[in-house]
Amino acid sequence: MAHTKSALKRIRQNVKHAAANRPYRTRAARAVREARAAIRSGSPAAAELVRTAQSALDRAARRDIIHRNSASRRKSRLTQQLKVLLAA
């Protein structure tokens, strides 16, 4: 356990910030999961779900909840998977 006042305050801040960031992180993760499932199943709505996932990733990256390069990488991989589906 922290001993100094500043460390205790930092713990309180971390709890608050984690709670505030959780919806954005969850929304992005869930959108990516749904998009991947739609791509795997060959759903016609896959393109729309990929766009939704990209938007959620961008929002999370804009707020520094996930790193911008991480968001970019995930968006790129989703797009690649979608292209393979559309090409088939």
pLDDT computed for residue 9 by the predictor: 97
In a domain, 8, yes or no: no
Reported as a pLDDT band with limits 50, 70 and 90, residue 55 is very high
In a domain, 14, yes or no: no
Single out the residue of 51, 30, 32 nearest to residue 40, CA to CA.
32
Report the pLDDT averaged over residues 23-38.
Answer: 98
Q: What pTM was estimated for this model as a whole?
A: 0.88
Q: Which helix (H) or strand (E) holds 11?
A: helix 5-41
In a domain, 13, yes or no: no
Task: Give the CA count within 13 Å in the CB-facing half-sphere of 1.
Answer: 2
Arithmetic mean of pLDDT over the chain:
96
In a domain, 9, yes or no: no
In a domain, 12, yes or no: no
Rounded to a whole number of angstroms, the distance between the first and last alpha carbons of the chain is: 56
Contacts of 44 (CB under 8 A, 6+ apart): none
In a domain, 7, yes or no: no
User: CA-CA distance, 20 to 47, in Å (whole number)?
Assistant: 29
Tally of CB atoms within 10 A around 49: 21
Q: Considering its fold, how many domains does the chain have in total?
A: 1
Report the pLDDT averaged over residues 55-78.
Answer: 98
In a domain, 15, yes or no: no
Both structure tokens of 53: 């996932």
pLDDT computed for residue 88 by the predictor: 78
In a domain, 71, yes or no: yes
Range of the domain at 72: 24-87
